[in-house]
Structure 1
Amino acid sequence: MKAIILKDFGGVENLVSAEIPVPTIADDEVLVKLKAISINPVDVKTRSGKGVAGLIKDESPIILGWDISGEITEVGADVTGFKPGDEVFAMIDFPKTGKAYAEYVKAKANELALKPAGVSHEEAAAATLAALTAWQAFHSNAPVNPGDRVLIHATSGGVGHYAVQIAKHLGAYVIATSSAANRDFVLGLGADEHIDYKAQPFETATNNIDFVLDTIGGEYIDRSLQVMKKGGTIISIVSGMNETVTPKANALGINGHNTRVKPNAENMATIAGLLQKGIIKSHISKVFPFEQMAEAHLQLESGRTVGKVVLVF
């Protein structure tokens, strides 16, 4: 089968095409013929030697990718609930090697959900890691409740644009940051207020925040804490922020946590339901043929992607 392997950590020139064997599945796994995959900032960071590179550096070959949508062609002996021909989507084996940059992947059955019939493979593949991240963040140590004032950063991005929609579904009042160029897009997602972070510091434009979803890290954590209520919650999804966010937040009487998304079939099924009902929608910035993986990475690295980048087979 065709695959794109990472021959070394570094630039996009290290993403090279190869022919490799179709995976052999274990008893608790299924084989999926992929129709679409999506990529995320963690793909780009890992390719460059950051992200989760340390967890996969000893794999041979290294094949990136975690966001899939496709059709099951084979099921393991212990698998129930799925059969060949089922269309499924998921975030697989994160943060290890999902190996989604290939025509076929093996996946644990307990990470999959059925793809809604009215949702395309492109839309489903987009709504895996990113939507799952937002859902799990809002249902973490201190979940979002109806009426909460929720501040979400970088709301025109992959995680951010799902986060706005999910927070509104949960009954929150959403304050969203992005550039002015994406104001209409973000408000169209359902945000109640928009702050152009380039025009003014967000901490001068809002206050009394119950919940912050931080997708940026660094100084954004300190600045976000300035506008929060005591007893509120800040969740950072940026790797390595746990030693920063938790003590700083706790010192102010705020719950602070750093989280990493985890594969979860039940959560994926919930996201499937939200997609099917139109409660959340995937905004796809650009679709590339699978062979143009390097171009897709460059698009994501540009910082000008609104929503998601998807590749099709």
Structure 2
Amino acid sequence: MKAAIVREFGGPEVLHIAEIPTPHAGPGRVRVRVRAAGVMPFDTALRAGRFPPAMTPRFPAEPVVPGNEFAGVIDEVGEKVAGLPPGTEVLGFATTGAYAEFIVVPADQVARKPPGMPWEIAAGLSGNGQGAHMALSQLSVGPGDVVLINGAAGGLGTIAVQLARARGAATVIGTASERNHDYLRSLGAIPVTYGPGLVERVRAIAPDGVDAALDAAGPEALRDSVELTRDRDRVLTMISDEAARELGLRAWSGARSGELLDELAELWSRGEFAVHLRDTYALADAARAHRAVETGHGRGKVVLAVDLP
């Protein structure tokens, strides 16, 4: 099968297309013919070599296929798998392996794709959708809360804004570049600009500070969030782990699951949130997709079309 692989750490240029063995579904697993795969910051960090030593591959004998979210059609089912016959349209998650024509995962890592959900949207839902859902749950976001979301126009941020509103948050303040402010307003957030003076800009909207803050922007925004949030136990970062440790904040926690994906698919079907698609690239253009994600200022999801017409 064709896949976008990495045989050495480096910039986006180390991603290239290669023929690798097609996997098969063992007991408890399903093989999915991938239609589209989401591109996550985790994937770019993996490619660059920024991940735990336990995940370090043995190059060049063990090339890495990035990609931890996907959508496609089950075409092979292992023993002890029930309720997911070949032909079932699914969205799912893994740690790696989605930038390929086929992926094999445990059956509890997929959920049925709603009939009206486009493949590109399904591919971009798993990572950011589950991350946003788990983060807001850990922050106990609920009715009446004033919530700050840093990096609100990104793939995770846009879903977090919408889910916070669906949970009953009274006010959602989102940081973004000025070109994305109208977009955030359309999602129900009050936009503010990144950078120095953020604390003052947020206090102009919420003089008493905020009830909870989610960071998907970086260390400086996280430090501002701590200053703005009344209870530091309700401050969480998805990307700035070192800064969080320095500030004495609790770590993000949670586990992805097929059940959570089912819940998100249902919320999407009810119109509780939308997934904004920024760009779709061909699998052969995975390097360009990584460059787009690494700019850090895009709006919504970047997706690879693996097997789409």
Query: Fold-level match, TM-score > 0.5?
Result: yes
State the TM-score, normalizing by the size of structure 2.
0.91
Answer whether contact 2:199 2:227 (CA < 8 A) is retained: no
CA distance in 1, matches of 2:284, 2:302: 14
CA distance in 1, matches of 2:6, 2:253: 23
- Which residue number corresponds to residue 105 of structure 2? 107
Q: Could you give the per-residue CA deviations for residues 266-301 of structure 1, whole angstroms, max 9, x where no partner exists?
A: 111111011112211111111111111111111112
Counterparts in 2 of 1:217 and 1:300: CA distance versus 1, 3 Å: closer
What is the Cα deviation at residue 211 of structure 1?
0.8
Q: 1:88 aligns with which of 87, 90, 99?
A: 90
Q: Which moved more, 1:129-138 or 1:260-269?
A: 260-269
Residue identity matched to 1:66:
N
User: Does residue 227 of the first structure (1) align with residue 225 of the second (2)?
Assistant: no
Which SS does the other structure have where 1:258 is aligned?
A: coil
CA distance in 1, matches of 2:201, 2:274: 31
What is the Cα deviation at residue 198 of structure 1?
4.5
Counterparts in 2 of 1:303 and 1:232: CA distance versus 1, 3 Å: closer
Counterparts in 2 of 1:7 and 1:288: CA distance versus 1, 3 Å: same
Runs of 4+ in 1 over 6 A off after TM superposition: none
What is the Cα deviation at residue 222 of structure 1?
2.2
- Which residue number corresponds to residue 182 of structure 2? 184
CA distance in 1, matches of 2:213, 2:152: 12
Answer whether contact 1:237 1:260 (CA < 8 A) is retained: no
Q: Which moved more, 1:210-219 or 1:231-240?
A: 231-240
- Which residue number corresponds to residue 267 of structure 1? 260
Counterparts in 2 of 1:260 and 1:35: CA distance versus 1, 3 Å: farther
- Which residue number corresponds to residue 77 of structure 2? 75
Q: 2:294 aligns with which of 293, 296, 301?
A: 301
- Which residue number corresponds to residue 32 of structure 1? 32
Q: Could you give the per-residue CA deviations for residues 116-138 of structure 1, whole angstroms, max 9, x where no partner exists?
A: 11101101111110111000001
User: Does residue 168 of the first structure (1) align with residue 165 of the second (2)?
Assistant: yes
Answer whether contact 2:153 2:184 (CA < 8 A) is retained: yes
CA distance in 2, matches of 1:44, 1:180: 25
Structure ranking higher on relative contact order (CA contacts 8 Å, 6+ apart): 2
Residue identity matched to 1:164:
V
What is the Cα deviation at residue 258 of structure 1?
2.1
Q: Which moved more, 1:40-49 or 1:101-110?
A: 40-49
Q: Which moved more, 1:210-219 or 1:200-209?
A: 200-209
Length, aligned pairs only:
298
Counterparts in 2 of 1:169 and 1:150: CA distance versus 1, 3 Å: same
What is the Cα deviation at residue 14 of structure 1?
1.2
Identity %: 33
State the TM-score, normalizing by the size of structure 1.
0.89
- Which residue number corresponds to residue 272 of structure 2? 279
Counterparts in 2 of 1:304 and 1:153: CA distance versus 1, 3 Å: closer
Answer whether contact 1:153 1:176 (CA < 8 A) is retained: yes
- Which residue number corresponds to residue 238 of structure 1? 239
Counterparts in 2 of 1:295 and 1:186: CA distance versus 1, 3 Å: same
Unaligned runs of 5+ in 1: 248-255
Q: Could you give the per-residue CA deviations for residues 231-285 of structure 1, whole angstroms, max 9, x where no partner exists?
A: 750111125335234x2xxxxxxxx322256321111111101111221111111
Q: Could you give the per-residue CA deviations for residues 79-117 of structure 1, whole angstroms, max 9, x where no partner exists?
A: 12211111110222x3xxx21111000011111111111
User: Does residue 209 of the first structure (1) align with residue 206 of the second (2)?
Assistant: no
Unaligned runs of 5+ in 2: none
Counterparts in 2 of 1:156 and 1:103: CA distance versus 1, 3 Å: same
CA distance in 2, matches of 1:238, 1:85: 37
